[in-house]
Structure 1
Amino acid sequence: MQKWLANLRKGYGKKLVSLHSWNGWIVVILALTGLILFQGLWRGILGEGRVIIRYVHIVVGIASLIPVLYYLALAGKHWKQLKGKRLQKANVLIVLGLLVGWLLSGLLLWQFKAVGPAWSNNALYVHDVLTWTGLPYIIYHSLTRLKWLKEPHRRTIKTGSAREGLHPAAKPEAVMSRRAFIRTVVGAGIAVAVGPSFLKWLGNQMSPGAQLDEVIQADANNLIPAPKPLPASSPPIGGGSRGSFRIYTVTPIPAFDNSNFTFIIDGLVEKPQQWNWEQFVALKREAQVSDFHCVTGWSVLGNTWEGIKLKDFLKMAGVKPSAKTVKFYSGDGVYTDSLTLEQADMDDVMVAVLHDGKPIPSDLGGPVRLIVPKMYAYKSVKWLNRIELIEGNHTGYWEERGYDTDAWV
């Protein structure tokens, strides 16, 4: 073992610089792919390409373990060299902590079905915290040290006779050196660029109710009359939802008013149905409490939804014996998904119009959205305006683009 380590440490300085470079590229790839996955804008643009990017993110994330293990083999010698250099030691520990934290939380998110919603929800929170704090730190560190890394005389204290003079780094510096100025400018630039988004994210985590209120106030729908909540919805029997919804769309968010809203049930049914908003909002509703789980790892717990059970809609229309699948259409004109008749008959599958006693806003899929609590949220079609009974199977929007057809939580 000692001989192997000795061979590994040959050319230690060059290996350390090379390792630093490779680690930097890994972080860049993870940052870019992570931002693409995080930003809802890219979901519609990339389509199935988003699934490929997700796999790239996972593979590179797992590969980040290699430079960590490689560094640990060199760490003994490096740590001795850093004797007395507290800031550099702290930097090494911070970067190692970030990489290990990202790796472990990422593995939990990757295996979300195996670990369950509670673990994946916490892992996503840790992943987000590390990204919001760690990525700016690494960018700052990289930009302010890049030139320093390229100049060996700036990172090695030369020894020799007194006549050779002091190393430049040991000479007195001005109140603010060029290097200090660059650090200050880069740090301020990163703070300005990242700070507002970070504070908004932090506020949403600390006060998810305030975020939901903002979304409700910005509702683009204008439908009259508004649905009057049942006593079970206001106040909500679930006590109010816990957690923050993340807004993902594959198209621009549609808006509805009384002139363009219709709700249809057709296909293989005995009595096709169609309602305008006034008729639809007058239908008898009930309330239920359920958790809402997204396949990307986050959850909102204890939601009180109010609406009409899907199986009651199917009874109204009368399902023909030849029907095998229930297909759902989104009002965005693009998104579709489906359930089998057996799945559609589950007691908690609901066509909802209210969330915690308030109309579902457009950003969250209102005025009407499907709720399938036992499945991940890509089955809970937003802006639902049509239900069709069909004979064959139907592959939904995200299933066509690589998502698992088994959407069970």
Structure 2
Amino acid sequence: MQNWLSYLRKGHGKKLASLHAWNGWIVVILTLTGLLLFGGYWRGVLGEGRVWIRWIHIVVGIASLLPVVYYLLLAGKHWKQLKGKTMQRANVLIVLGLLAGWLLSGLLLWQFRAVGPAWSNASLLVHDLLTWIGLPYIIYHSITRTKWLKEPHRRTVKTGEPGEGVHPAAKPQAVYTRRAFIRTAVGAGLLITLGPSFLRFLGNTLSTGASEEELVSADANRLTPAPKPLPASLPPEGGGSRGTFRVYTVTPIPSFNNSNWSFTVDGLVDRKLYWNWEQFVQLGRKVQVSDFHCVTGWSVYSNTWEGIPLKELLKQAGVKSQAKTVKLYSGDGVYTDSLTLAQADMDDVMVAVLHDGKPIPNELGGPVRLVVPKMYAYKSVKWLNRIELIAGDYTGYWEERGYSKDAWLT
């Protein structure tokens, strides 16, 4: 072991340079794949390719452990070389802390089923926070350490050059280095461009529903009359949802009005059911409080949903004996999923019309969406407008693209 450590410490500078390069490539790959996974637009464009990108992100994230371990083996000698260089030592600790934090939170997100929603939700917050802090820092650090900026003859603005009124023997005096100027400019640019987005991220993260208020006020649906909430919905029986919904969609977000919205229950049923909006809002509704968990790691707690239990709609339609599966259609014309009859019969599976006493905005899947609290949210179909009873099994949109059919939280 001692001989191996001695070997590693030989050529110490070259090894550290190689380590910096590896760290750089790891950060680049994680950034690009992370942005593709985060952006709702890319979900529809990438399709099943998103699953491969997710695995690339996971594998490279795990690989980030290697440079951390490698550095720790070299750390003693390198740390001594940095004696008296406070800023460089601080930079080492910051970068190692970022890599370790990304790695740990990423592992918890990867194993979301094993750790449960509470841990995965906290891990996603930490992962995002480290990204918002770490990426600008790494960009800043990388740019300001370029070879061009390290060349003294190209990075210094000087005064006192020989000329009129200046003694030929006088030495030029540096008043401001180009490197210092670039550092300031890059830092100010990152602050101006990323600062507002970071503040919005913090606001959404720490809010208790303000972001949804904005979505409600910007709701593009135009359906009348508005559903009148039951007393348990307003004020919300659950006290108001805690957390912020992240808007993911595989298509452009649709909007609806009285002329283009309807709701159908058909297929292997005794009676086909059909409602327009005016008829649908007259149906009897119930209120329930439940948590909402996304497979990507975030959660919104204590949601007060108001709507019609799915089992009541199926009972009203009459399910034929041949029917085995409940196929669910989204009003975007693309997304579909399914539940077994046993799953659809659960008391808390709801065709929801109101959230916390307000109409569900189109960005959150309104005017009507499914809510399946015991399963991850890809089963809770947005813009629900048709339920079909079918004889066979059915594989939903994301399940065709690598998601598990087993969407249970645990």
Pick the TM interval, shorter chain: over 0.9
Q: Distance in 1 between matches of 2:208 and 2:186?
A: 32
Measured at CA, do residues 221 and 204 of structure 1 come closer, stay the same or move farther in structure 2, by a change above 3 Å?
same
Per the alignment, residue 229 of structure 1 pairs with 229
1:324 to 2:356 alignment: no
Q: Distance in 2 between matches of 1:27 and 1:372?
A: 37
Q: Distance in 1 between matches of 2:78 and 2:327?
A: 61
1:146 Cα deviation from its structure 2 partner: 2.1
Per the alignment, residue 189 of structure 2 pairs with 189
Q: Distance in 2 between matches of 1:282 and 1:25?
A: 58
Q: What is the identity, as a one-letter code, of the residue corresponding to 2:13?
A: G
Where does 1:192-231 land on structure 2 (aligned, <5 Å)? 192-231=192-231
**Aligned partner of residue 408 in structure 2, secondary structure:** coil
Q: What is the identity, as a one-letter code, of the residue corresponding to 2:33?
A: T
Where does 1:130-279 land on structure 2 (aligned, <5 Å)? 130-147=130-147, 174-279=174-279
| Identity rate, percent | 77
Q: What is the identity, as a one-letter code, of the residue corresponding to 1:30?
A: L
Q: Distance in 2 between matches of 1:266 and 1:300?
A: 32
Give the TM-score normalised by structure 2. 0.94
Measured at CA, do residues 312 and 82 of structure 1 come closer, stay the same or move farther in structure 2, by a change above 3 Å?
same
Measured at CA, do residues 149 and 182 of structure 1 come closer, stay the same or move farther in structure 2, by a change above 3 Å?
closer
Residue segments in structure 1 that go unaligned for 5+ positions in a row: 155-170
Measured at CA, do residues 60 and 407 of structure 1 come closer, stay the same or move farther in structure 2, by a change above 3 Å?
same
User: Alpha-carbon deviations, 1:35-82, whole Å to 9, x = none?
Assistant: 111111111111111111100000000000001101111111100100
1:197 Cα deviation from its structure 2 partner: 1.3
Q: Distance in 2 between matches of 1:294 and 1:148?
A: 46
Per the alignment, residue 9 of structure 1 pairs with 9
Q: Distance in 2 between matches of 1:338 and 1:149?
A: 59
Q: What is the identity, as a one-letter code, of the residue corresponding to 1:245?
A: F
User: Alpha-carbon deviations, 1:134-162, whole Å to 9, x = none?
Assistant: 110001001111226987999xxxxxxxx
**Aligned partner of residue 378 in structure 1, secondary structure:** helix
Q: Distance in 1 between matches of 2:196 and 2:51?
A: 29
Range moving further from structure 2, 182-191 or 114-123: 182-191
User: Alpha-carbon deviations, 1:265-305, whole Å to 9, x = none?
Assistant: 00000000000000000000000000000000000000000
Residue segments in structure 2 that go unaligned for 5+ positions in a row: 155-170
1:28 to 2:28 alignment: yes
* Preserved CA contact (<8 Å) 2:149 2:178: no
* Preserved CA contact (<8 Å) 2:324 2:340: yes
Measured at CA, do residues 404 and 150 of structure 1 come closer, stay the same or move farther in structure 2, by a change above 3 Å?
farther
Q: Distance in 2 between matches of 1:316 and 1:290?
A: 25
**Aligned partner of residue 138 in structure 1, secondary structure:** helix
Per the alignment, residue 117 of structure 1 pairs with 117
Per the alignment, residue 63 of structure 2 pairs with 63
Q: Distance in 2 between matches of 1:395 and 1:330?
A: 14
Per the alignment, residue 375 of structure 2 pairs with 375
1:192 Cα deviation from its structure 2 partner: 2.2
Q: What is the identity, as a one-letter code, of the residue corresponding to 2:275?
A: W
1:176 Cα deviation from its structure 2 partner: 2.3
Cα RMSD for the two superposed structures: 1.6
Q: What is the identity, as a one-letter code, of the residue corresponding to 2:174?
A: A
1:199 Cα deviation from its structure 2 partner: 1.1
**Aligned partner of residue 25 in structure 1, secondary structure:** helix
1:208 Cα deviation from its structure 2 partner: 3.6
* Preserved CA contact (<8 Å) 2:37 2:54: yes
Q: What is the identity, as a one-letter code, of the residue corresponding to 1:101?
A: G
* Preserved CA contact (<8 Å) 2:150 2:179: no
1:4 Cα deviation from its structure 2 partner: 1.4
Measured at CA, do residues 62 and 344 of structure 1 come closer, stay the same or move farther in structure 2, by a change above 3 Å?
same
**Aligned partner of residue 399 in structure 1, secondary structure:** coil
User: Alpha-carbon deviations, 1:89-135, whole Å to 9, x = none?
Assistant: 00000000000000000000000000000000000111011000011
* Preserved CA contact (<8 Å) 2:310 2:344: yes
Q: What is the identity, as a one-letter code, of the residue corresponding to 1:76?
A: G
Per the alignment, residue 345 of structure 1 pairs with 345
1:232 Cα deviation from its structure 2 partner: 0.6
1:172 Cα deviation from its structure 2 partner: 9.1
Range moving further from structure 2, 318-327 or 145-154: 145-154
Q: What is the identity, as a one-letter code, of the residue corresponding to 1:260?
A: N
1:47 to 2:58 alignment: no
* Preserved CA contact (<8 Å) 2:149 2:179: no
Per the alignment, residue 289 of structure 2 pairs with 289
Q: What is the identity, as a one-letter code, of the residue corresponding to 1:84?
A: G
Q: Distance in 2 between matches of 1:182 and 1:149?
A: 8
**Aligned partner of residue 374 in structure 1, secondary structure:** coil
Measured at CA, do residues 384 and 243 of structure 1 come closer, stay the same or move farther in structure 2, by a change above 3 Å?
same
**Aligned partner of residue 50 in structure 1, secondary structure:** helix
**Aligned partner of residue 320 in structure 1, secondary structure:** coil
Q: Distance in 1 between matches of 2:83 and 2:60?
A: 32
1:206 Cα deviation from its structure 2 partner: 2.0
Where does 1:348-363 land on structure 2 (aligned, <5 Å)? 348-363=348-363
